[in-house]
C-alpha cells in the first residue's frame, strides 16, 4: 500500500448531499415496488430497465470505496479492515433482528385463521416446513427468505471488500476487476446454481434448496459492487482528478438511456422488454442475474448522471427530506422491510384489495414512519457528536449502510 497520505495530499473530505438524496430516492422507489399498491407496476423501473436495487448497490459501493478508501490511505490497511468489519457486524445484527421479526410476529399473523394471507405465507413456506433448519441456516445467511435477501449479500461484500481494496492499493484494480468480470460472465452461464449444488449441497450437505437462498445471483452482483467500490476508492486516492468522460461516450450513453426509457414506458411489455418472450427477457434483461442489456442500460444511465447531473442539481432545490432518509439508509431500509412484511401479512400481495384512497393512506403511513426513523437517527447522531465535542457529520455507508 502507498505510504499514508498527509491530509493535504488527500481529496478534501466533504458531505455528498447529492449521494444522500440519490440513496433516499432509491429507498422511495424500493418501497413503492415492495409495498403492493396501485403504483407498484407504473413506478417500477422508472428510468429504463434498471431497478432501484441496482442504483442502490452501485451508490453504496461507491460510498464504501470513498469513505473506507480514505481511511485506508490516511490510517492504513488495518484501520480500514476494522472499519469494514465493524460495519459488517452492524449489518448482521440488523439482518438477525429482521429474521426474528419475520419468524415471530409475521409468522403469528400469517397463521391466524382470519388472516390467512397467501402473501405472507409464501415468504415463510420453508420455515413452516423446516423450522429448525430454516432458523439455523438463516442466521448462517444461507436461507434467505424473500425480501430478506439483500442484507446477506451486502454482508458478504463488506467482508470481501477490505481484502480486495488492500490488494488494489498495492497492485491496482486491474486484476480484481478482471476477476470480477469473469465472475459476472460465469453467472450468465448459470454457474451459481451449479456451484451451490456442488459445494454447499454436495460437499457440505446443506439441506436448504437453492431456490431458498435468495433471488440475487451473488456471483453476478459482485461485479456491480466491486465496480462501484473501485470508482469510490479512486475518488479518495491522493491526487484524484475529476472524472472526464469522452464526448462519444456521452452521446452513446444518452442514446442508449433514452432508448431504454422509451422502451420501458412505451413498449408492449412494460417492465418486461420482450413481453411474453420469457427466454429473451431472462437472457438479456434478467434483474437477478444482471443480464447484459440491463448492465448496458445501467452504465448508460450512470454516464448521463455523471455528465449532466451537476448542472441539473444546480437548478433544482435541495430535497432535504430525501437526504435525511439517504443519510440513515440502514435504519430506513429496515423500517421499509418491516412495513412491507406487515402489509403482506395483513393484506397479502394483491393491491386490488384496497381502494385508491386506502393505498394513499397506507403509503403515507409507511413513508411517514421511514422519515420519522431517519429524523430520529440523524438527531441521535447530532447529540452524540455534541457530547463527544465534535462536529457531527452523518457517516456515509452502504445501502445497508446508515
**Is 292 a domain residue?**
yes
**Is 399 a domain residue?**
no
**Is 1 a domain residue?**
no
The CA-atom distances, in angstroms, between 82 and each of 72, 94, 118, 311, 373 are 10, 19, 43, 37, 27
Rounded Cα gap, residues 279 and 166, in angstroms: 40
Rounded Cα gap, residues 222 and 195, in angstroms: 15
Residues 399, 82, 76: CA angle, nearest 5 degrees: 110
Residues 256, 257, 258: CA angle, nearest 5 degrees: 90
SS3 content of the chain, % helix, strand, coil (to 5): 75, 0, 25
**Is 398 a domain residue?**
no
Span 164-202, pLDDT tens digits: 999 999 999 999 999 999 999 999 999 999 999 999 999
The SS3 of residue 108 is helix
Residues with Cβ within 8 Å of residue 156, at least 6 apart in sequence: 141, 218
Rounded Cα gap, residues 63 and 30, in angstroms: 19
pLDDT at 396 over 50: no
**Is 19 a domain residue?**
yes
Residue 74 lies in domain: 7-388
Instruction: Mean pLDDT check: name the lowest of 97-111, 133-147, 290-304, 379-393.
Output: 379-393
pLDDT of residue 194: 97
Rounded Cα gap, residues 63 and 74, in angstroms: 16
**Is 316 a domain residue?**
yes
Span 227-282, pLDDT tens digits: 999 999 998 888 888 888 999 999 999 999 999 999 999 998 999 999 999 999 99
Q: Is the dihedral of CA 110, 118, 42, 295 positive or negative?
A: positive
Span 108-166, pLDDT tens digits: 888 874 555 666 788 899 999 999 999 999 999 999 999 999 999 999 999 999 999 99
**Is 158 a domain residue?**
yes
Residues with Cβ within 8 Å of residue 223, at least 6 apart in sequence: 180, 181, 183, 184, 290
H helix intervals, 102-214:
107-111, 118-123, 125-129, 131-139, 151-171, 174-188, 191-195
Domain count, the chain: 1
**Is 329 a domain residue?**
yes
Amino acid at each position: 500500500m502507498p505510504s499514508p497520505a498527509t491530509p493535504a495530499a488527500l481529496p478534501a473530505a466533504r458531505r455528498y448531499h447529492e449521494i444522500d438524496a440519490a440513496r433516499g430516492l432509491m429507498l422511495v422507489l424500493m418501497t413503492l415496488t415492495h409495498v403492493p399498491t396501485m403504483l407498484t407496476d407504473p413506478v417500477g423501473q422508472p428510468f429504463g430497465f434498471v431497478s432501484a436495487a441496482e442504483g442502490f448497490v452501485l451508490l453504496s459501493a461507491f460510498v464504501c470505496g470513498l469513505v473506507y478508501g480514505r481511511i485506508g490511505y490516511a490510517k492504513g490497511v488495518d484501520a480500514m479492515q476494522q472499519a469494514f468489519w465493524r460495519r459488517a457486524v452492524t449489518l448482521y445484527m440488523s439482518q438477525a433482528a429482521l429474521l426474528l421479526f419475520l419468524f415471530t410476529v409475521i409468522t403469528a399473523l400469517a397463521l391466524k385463521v382470519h388472516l390467512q394471507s397467501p402473501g405472507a405465507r409464501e415468504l415463510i413456506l420453508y420455515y413452516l416446513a423446516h423450522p429448525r433448519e430454516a432458523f439455523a441456516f438463516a442466521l448462517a445467511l444461507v436461507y434467505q427468505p424473500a425480501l430478506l435477501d439483500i442484507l446477506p449479500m451486502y454482508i458478504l461484500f463488506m467482508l470481501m471488500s477490505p481484502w480486495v481494496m488492500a490488494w488494489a492499493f498495492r497492485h491496482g484494480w486491474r486484476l480484481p476487476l478482471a476477476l470480477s468480470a469473469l465472475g459476472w460472465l460465469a453467472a450468465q452461464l448459470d454457474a451459481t446454481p451449479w456451484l451451490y449444488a456442488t459445494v454447499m449441497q454436495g460437499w457440505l450437505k446443506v439441506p436448504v434448496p437453492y431456490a431458498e437462498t435468495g433471488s440475487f445471483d451473488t456471483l453476478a452482483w459482485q461485479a456491480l459492487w466491486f465496480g462501484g467500490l473501485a470508482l469510490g476508492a479512486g475518488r479518495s486516492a491522493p491526487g484524484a482528478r475529476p472524472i472526464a468522460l469522452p464526448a462519444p461516450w456521452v452521446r452513446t450513453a444518452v442514446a442508449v438511456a433514452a432508448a431504454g426509457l422509451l422502451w420501458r414506458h412505451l413498449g408492449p411489455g412494460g417492465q418486461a422488454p420482450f413481453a411474453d418472450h420469457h427466454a429473451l427477457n431472462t437472457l438479456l434483461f434478467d434483474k437477478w442475474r444482471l443480464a447484459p442489456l440491463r448492465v448496458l442500460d445501467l452504465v448508460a444511465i450512470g454516464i448521463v448522471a455523471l455528465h449532466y447531473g451537476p448542472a441539473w442539481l444546480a437548478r433544482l432545490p435541495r430535497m432535504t427530506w430525501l437526504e435525511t432518509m439517504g443519510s440513515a439508509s440502514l435504519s430506513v431500509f429496515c423500517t421499509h422491510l418491516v412495513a412491507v412484511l406487515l402489509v403482506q401479512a395483513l393484506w397479502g400481495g394483491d393491491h386490488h384489495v384496497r381502494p385508491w384512497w386506502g393505498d394513499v393512506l397506507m403509503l403515507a403511513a409507511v413513508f411517514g414512519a421511514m422519515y420519522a426513523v431517519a429524523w430520529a437517527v440523524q438527531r441521535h447522531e447530532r447529540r452524540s457528536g455534541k457530547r463527544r465535542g465534535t462536529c457531527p457529520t452523518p457517516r456515509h455507508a452502504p445501502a445497508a449502510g446508515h
